Amino acid sequence: MKPADAPDALAALVEALRRLPGVGVKSAQRMAYHLLQHDRDGALRLSHALDHAVHGIRHCERCHTFTEQPVCVTCLDPARDTRLLCVVETPADQAAVERTGTYRGLYFVLMGRLSPLDGVGVQDIGLPELMARVREDEVREVIVATNFTAEGEITAHAVAEALRALDVRVTRLARGVPIGSELEYVDLGTIAHAFSERR
Ligand SMILES: [Zn+2]
């Protein structure tokens, strides 16, 4: 991996950059050289931002999304309809739904998706907490907005199964969203339409 005479600090930086998704050795080396040679200020800002985010950002106690407070601003917003709960896989998907500006309910962010092959089970995506939340808050409708990928569909099925015993309506976004797609990359009009056409 490491060129024979590369300093340890440089090798460590390349190794650290390789942790990013989609970044191989070549890209990591290019980034490291770029930062050290052309943008040391940017490198320091990146370093501080990472440190600040890692230490300051936690999961909302209610919806599990990222927040710097115990409970996020969305969950604390009194204008939200607490009887509507939208289940999404990630904060990025939640942001995509928010951008449509048409949804006024609350969220439950799974922070992942069921993936039996990778050992991700119902506990890991917080289904027990989701059930407790639906019961305690007297949620009227749960809108399952997991992605239209194979794992997203398995997850949607598991959510519906888990909620079957509870007195709540469970709906799924309509099929206007292309199969195999992730919500965060779908255009706003399509998401808004899928919401209004949910079944
Ligand atoms: Zn929250």
43 Cα: distance to centroid of ligand 1 (angstroms): 32
Position 195 scores a pLDDT of 75
36 Cα: distance to centroid of ligand 1 (angstroms): 39
Joined together, the tokens standing for residue 29 give 């080396």
Is residue 74 within 8 Å of 63, Cβ to Cβ? yes
CA distance 9 to 106: 45
Position 190 scores a pLDDT of 78
177 Cα: distance to centroid of ligand 1 (angstroms): 25
61 Cα: distance to centroid of ligand 1 (angstroms): 7
* Cα-based distances in Å from 79 to 69, 76, 147: 19, 9, 27
Dihedral sign from CA coordinates of 64, 66, 71, 77: negative
Position 192 scores a pLDDT of 78
77 Cα: distance to centroid of ligand 1 (angstroms): 10
81 Cα: distance to centroid of ligand 1 (angstroms): 13
- The angle that helices 188-196 and 91-100 make with each other, rounded to 10 degrees, is 80
pLDDT, mean of each 10-residue run, the chain (199 residues): 72 96 96 97 97 96 95 96 95 92 93 86 87 91 91 92 90 72 75 76
59 Cα: distance to centroid of ligand 1 (angstroms): 8
Instruction: Name the phi and psi angles at 171, rounded to 5.
Output: -120, 160
Position 179 scores a pLDDT of 66
95 Cα: distance to centroid of ligand 1 (angstroms): 12
Joined together, the tokens standing for residue 89 give 């896989």
156 Cα: distance to centroid of ligand 1 (angstroms): 20
65 Cα: distance to centroid of ligand 1 (angstroms): 6
Run of H or E residues at 85 = strand 81-88
62 Cα: distance to centroid of ligand 1 (angstroms): 5
Position 199 scores a pLDDT of 74
